[in-house]
Amino acid sequence: MSFSGRNALITGASRGIGRGCAEELGKAGANVAINYHSHSGEADEVASAVRLGGGRAITLQGDVSNRERVEEMVAQTAAEFGSLDLFVSNAVYSDRQLMLGSDLDGFRRTIDVGMWGAFYGVRAAAMQMVKQGKGGSIVVISSPHAVIPFPTAMAYNMAKAAIDHMARTAAIELAPHRIRVNIIHPGWIDTPGERKFYTEEQLAAGAATLPWKRLGRPDEIGKAVAYVLSDAAEYMTGSTLTIDGGVSLPWWSTRSGGGL
């Protein structure tokens, strides 16, 4: 797949899955705008990796729960590269607490980033693509927990369920504009964010319980995102692609103690 001459914006792209997406698009020659919230050094590393693939790269600091800033980042991407052709909504925040004792500030922050941030990004990107009049492709990074409840993660589960339906609705509304919208459900992926909740020993033990006996890698999600964004998937919209090493299989989802 070649993305030479194509211009992308990826939210939460300095680390983890977002980084995997940016680097895979960069390898295929895309120009990539790398949004980050607080990891500027890592965002610069991703930009360097994108440039090695022959594309241009810019870094954009911004909180995706701020609608005005999201709209600015879309405008900055289009101004820098000449257009916005590809958008990946990936930025996320999550706390782990039981509902009955949850800190509502963290609960709201999870919703603000995970649900509203995704909506702001999809809406702003779609508006730019409609204005350009040449179609486009959008991917929303969601989770199997849009459909499989995970205790201590109610806000995260709620946000992911909401953005799944948002993306499918957007796919219907944007089809006349030749803008595709699809969803990715990654499983338990080995990212820096997992270290917020688990030790290395716990991650290793949890990985051993998975059907595929290991955690997924960000580059594996990045490759899938690149395919879905590409012209090879031109007939695909409103679809959900699950890449989870079997986590969503019924036999495993009924067990306790799993991650994500």
Q: Which residues are catalytic?
A: 156
Burial of 144 (0-12, 13-18, 19+ CB in 10 A): buried
How many CB atoms within 10 Å of residue 252? 17
Q: How far apart are the first and last CA of the chain?
A: 30
Task: Give residues with Cβ within 8 angstroms of 86, minimum separation 6.
Answer: 3, 6, 7, 8, 9, 25, 30, 136, 137, 138, 229
Closest CA to 90 of 8, 158, 178, 203: 8
- The residues facing 33 across adjacent strands are 9, 58
